[in-house]
Structure 1
Amino acid sequence: MTPHSVAELASVVAAGLQVDQTSLAPDSRAVTGATLRAQDVRPGDLFAALPGARAHGADFAEQAAASGAVALLSDEEGVRRARAAGIDLPAMVHPDPRSAIGPVSARIYGNPSSALRVLGVTGTSGKTTTCYLLDGGLRAAGVSTGLVGTVETRVAGERLPSAFTTPEAPDLQALFAVMVERGVGHVAMEVSSHALSLGRVGGTEFAVGAFTNLSQDHLDFHLDLEDYFAAKAKLFDGRSRREVVCVDGDWGSRLITPDTITVSTTPGVDASWTVRDARALPTGEQTFVAVGPDGVRLELLIRLPGPFNIANALVAVACLHEDGIPADAIAAGLASVDVPGRMERVVEGQPFVAMVDYSHKPGAVAAVLDAARAQAEGRVLVVLGCGGERDTGKRPAMGSEAARRADLVVVTDDNPRSEDPTSIRSEMLAGALAVPSAQRGEIVEIGDRRAAITEAVSRARPGDILVVAGKGHETGQQVGDLMLPFSDRDVLAEAIRDRETEEKR
């Protein structure tokens, strides 16, 4: 790392920022890293002491200094607390230090995103799938890639677990710097509304920014849908050199400028990229023709079912085309992609289709079950729960959407966290049972998720489609303070095998 003085870093976000040098000159200590967490401080780090809902980061400044922090970034209250604790490190003072930590971290780590082609995707649903499709197209073109998202982080083929959809700013910039060191050229990256609201992508240069859709989610964090949309819209405030927007919904239409590359799967809509001849195959795959600017036509196959995945694929196609990826690489790359926990099939020789999906919001549940209904020769069955300590307003809506679309709904636990799981299920059941009886499927409540999956498998018939929804790729279930091992894929596969064994007896 190239050392940076505090004065130099302060110049990156000069607006509203002051340097409090106390007994030390601001240039006297060289900064070679950054972190928000005192327990992660290494010698030479800038410690960003941010105000929080439960504590102020400056309360841990003494720990950070003892671990080798050489400078602070905080608000006036944070610096006051640090000084009161006897911490005399040079400090950058900003009224909103979260807005400053991204650009400062980018400078510390050498502005790595300027040496990468970062393709950022935001939206309520489809971010993960679109990023995997982008990564497939890039790799098919022979590019060394990075991937940042909900399921995993990848650096030139090396897989790492993901703690957040989008990492905190210092971690993200350090990750980008590692990618540059390892020869990565392009990065497909999920950009969450939290990341945009909390400054996690500050200092990041996006070659392409893309929008998939917007529906109710994260209203435990955002004031309302308008506030949620405003967060998503920040990706299109000029930080992305090119912008790709799906205009199948009203929200996307509000992002259009004269230079926007638009995408639509709706017949008759005027967009830069449209779809022709979409066809669902019995295998769960789909074929379609993507029609783009200047007469571009790409014949494509994707392994993912559902009209919404055609929309995701078309967004990926538009982004890749804007980034200069050849048509043959786009087609080959998209055809090679399976997405963990997204309409992911579990095959154990059973006479019905079984899949797991990460759908955990009303719109996503509706879309997944509609896709299952379109392909099912028999009935549609779903196992579904809602997470605790999250947007409570979507619980009855998810119950309602499932009840209207599935022949059997097994209401179960997801990640209850500190909430009473019985109360969560009751809110879902209220929404499900509010659907008139003639318009809803059978509703069953089984709190234990393993037992719920086993029950659904026992009821599945040849030609049915069973969807275990909500947790997707996750490998744990959070109950209280405990993270218990639990994989929907593994439990579903085990239940199918046990059924097959039982039937052979």
Structure 2
Amino acid sequence: MNHQHKLLSDLLSPFQLTTEENPVITSIETDSRKVKPGSLFICIRGYTVDGHQYVQEAKDNGAVAILAEKQVGIAGIPTILLPDTKQAAGKIADFFYDHPSQKMRVYGITGTNGKTTTTQLSYDLFRAAGRRTGMISTVGALIDGQRFETPNTTPEAVILHRLLHEMVSNGVTDCMLEVSSHALVEGRVEGVSFHAAAFTNLSHDHLDYHQSMEEYAEAKGMLFQQVARNDGKGLVLNEEDAASHVMERAGANVPVTWYSTKIESEASIVVEWREESVNVRIDGTTTEVPIALLGNFNAANLAAAIGLMKTGEVNMYELIRHIPSLRLPKGRLERLSFEGTEIYIDYAHTPDGLRKCLEALSVSNEALYVVLSAAGERDRTKRQEMGRIAAQYCAGIIVTVHDTRREDPRQIIDELSVDISSDKIISCHIDRKNALLAAAEIALEGKRVVIVGKGHEEIERIGTKGVPFNETKILLAELGRLKGKESAI
């Protein structure tokens, strides 16, 4: 329970701003519906909603001060103007919650693919080492085992600092924070003091937002600049990805731990994949360890997680005994539990992520089928390549869409299908549910199926709304229905 309170003048002090009225602030909100008596309401311009339009509602709900980028014409309470409220929100929230990230070690994890898995593996290893650990990622927030839902990969700044404060109150000493490039550009981690940060890789994604791969890399680099500004203790970088040097330059003068998946590498951490085990080399000493994780690419995610542990001064040789118990997060190469079928659900939504997913599931002499999709109003340039990759690895493809937003689903399907020969396309569905029903049917015929695009997510973004959509439940219900039909014959 939060009992924070600060004078408005204290919260404005980092900006050298003063105001005649000086109310006591008992909460900070960016959603007018959550404002209560004593709140400071910060107007944030979002993708679809502009907080400046909701100041009257905020005042009616009890806001005692407004922070905005323009005059909002609300009399009776102080309105403070700043050029960028998104950036300011993090600094103000950090101050309001008594600098929570300075009271524990916060580890940032960024990259195109593998962020969520590396965050989860780091969290599990730190907990296994006896640390009271927190995690904030795409799949939600965990405070030493207790789960909290989060709206984005990285929550907006006010919610983020509130969660960090909650963690400190619960005795957390080490927090894993998944950081997207959007979050860095939009100031969602502003005010966070990072102990260390890891970089997984950089591949084709979000070019609708960042315009070029160079701009995308620079956005990721902002995390490593922040580590350097905070006098952080380490950067954990992938020796096999050239963009690591962008991160190294951004975090100038911070010690670097390099990791690799190649045993001949001179990196201080190497995890070599051996199907059912991994060779883990830490500072020259190699140990073979059994592993339950699917996919060669998870060797790199594990190596990055071990690198973060090294910056956290964990006993490195003790952690090795915990590796066999590690599991992937929900929606990452997750096998559906239904007897007689082999269906996987994976979050892959980039060309590189899709290739790694399909490679991991490729078995000689066993055909693989995929439900392939792409999101609406997002980077269109990757769709054709994803179709090519699916055709390369799969015997049959069900083409569909997810999160269409306001884009015509037929356009998404056409762009995914450009380079897929017609004999490989089983069917196309503008309604994702119908694609899942088709997948259930072929899975019951004994075919190996992977469904990509949504992973752990349980909503579909249609138009401007989020509609409940649980792939696991839909698939299990249809498999049960079909199985019942079979047994009735």
Calculate the TM-score normalised by the size of structure 1. Answer: 0.87
Amino acid at match of 1:366: R
In structure 2, how many angstroms separate the alpha carbons of the residues matched to 1:54 and 1:347?
38
Mapped to 2, the partners of 1:55 and 1:338 lie a distance apart of 35
Structure 2 counterpart of 1:284 = none
Asked if 1:335 is matched to 2:322, the reply is no
Q: Which residue of 1 aligns with 2:334?
A: 344
Q: CA deviation at 1:132?
A: 1.1
Hey, what does 2:299 align to over in structure 1? 310
Deviations 1:437-458 (A, max 9, x none): 8xx9455323343332343344
Query: Displacement of 1:141 after TM fit?
Result: 1.8
In structure 1, what is the Cα distance between the partners aligned to 2:210 and 2:261?
29
| Structure 1: 5+ residue stretches without partners | 282-286
CA contact (8 A) 1:301 1:331 kept: no
Match of 2:246 in 1: 254
Return the offset for 1:136: 0.9
The structural deviation recorded for 1:502 is 4.9
- Residue 57 of structure 2 corresponds to 63
- List aligned pairs for 1:263-274, cutoff 5 A: 263-266=259-262, 268-274=264-270
Aligned residues of 1:342 and 1:356 also touching (Cα < 8 A): yes
User: For the Cα contact (< 8 Å) 1:139–1:333, is it kept in 2?
Assistant: no
Candidates 189, 193, 203, aligned match of 2:181: 193
Distance 1:502 1:304, change over 3 A: farther
What letter is aligned with 2:238?
Answer: C
Number of the residue aligned with 2:385: 397
TM-superposed CA distance for 1:497, in Å, is 4.2
> Given residue 8 of structure 1, which amino acid in structure 2 is its aligned partner?
D
Paired with 2:103 and 2:438, the residues of 1 have a C-alpha distance of 52
Residue of structure 1 in register with 2:14 after alignment:
12
Instruction: Tell me how far apart the structure 2 counterparts of residues 251 and 343 of structure 1 sit (CA, whole Å).
Output: 26
Task: Provide the C-alpha distance between the structure 1 equivalents of 2:475 and 2:365, rounded to a whole number of angstroms.
Answer: 21
The residue type paired with residue 132 of structure 1 is Q
Whole-angstrom CA distance in 1 between matches of 2:124 and 2:323: 4
Q: 1:330: how far off?
A: 5.0
1:161 corresponding residue in structure 2: 149
With the length of structure 2 as denominator, give the TM-score of the two structures: 0.90
SS of the aligned residue for 1:432 comes to coil
- The 8 Å contact of residues 145 and 156 in structure 1, kept in 2 or not, is answered as yes
1:456 matched residue in structure 2: 439
Q: In structure 2, do the counterparts of structure 1 residues 52 and 347 end up closer, same or farther at CA, with 3 Å as the change threshold?
A: closer
Alignment of 1:98-497 (within 5 A): 98-237=86-225, 238=228, 239=230, 240-256=232-248, 259-266=255-262, 268-276=264-272, 278-281=273-276, 287-293=277-283, 295-326=284-315, 327-332=317-322, 335-350=325-340, 353-373=342-362, 375-433=363-421, 441-442=424-425, 444-460=427-443, 465-481=448-464, 483-497=466-480
Cα deviation for residue 66 of structure 1 reads 2.9
Aligned residue type for 1:85: I
Task: Check the 8 A contact 2:11/2:92 in 1, yes or no.
Answer: yes
Structure 1 residues 50 and 495: alpha-carbon distance in aligned structure 2, compared to 1, 3 A threshold? closer
Letter in 2 for 1:490: K
Q: CA deviation at 1:231?
A: 1.2
> What secondary structure sits across from 2:380 in the alignment?
coil
Displacement, 1:123?
0.8
Q: Supply the RMSD in Å over aligned alpha carbons.
A: 2.5
Query: Taking structure 1 as reference, are residues 68 and 251 closer, same or farther at Cα in structure 2, changes over 3 Å only?
Result: same
Task: Report if the CA contact (8 A) 2:66-2:77 is conserved.
Answer: no
Q: Is the 8 A contact 1:136 1:334 kept in 2?
A: no
Alignment equivalent of 1:48, drawn from 23, 42, 48: 42
Partner SS for 1:360: coil
> Cα deviation per residue 1:181-201 (whole Å; 9 max; x = unaligned)?
122222122111111111111
State the number of aligned residues.
477
> Deviations along 1:269-291, whole A, 9 cap, x unmatched?
43221134x2113xxxxx11221
Identity of aligned residues (%): 32
Whichever residue aligns with residue 49 of structure 1, its letter is: C
Deviations 1:182-232 (A, max 9, x none): 222221221111111111111111222111111122222222222221111
Residues 291 and 323, structure 2, Cα contact 8 Å, conserved in 1: no
Q: Deviations over 1:85-125 (max 9, x none)?
A: 3254152x332232222111101011111112212111111
Q: Assess if the C-alpha contact under 8 Å between 1:396 and 1:430 holds in 2.
A: yes
What SS class does the counterpart of residue 205 from structure 1 fall into? coil
- 1:405 deviates by 1.6
Residue aligned with 2:177, SS: strand
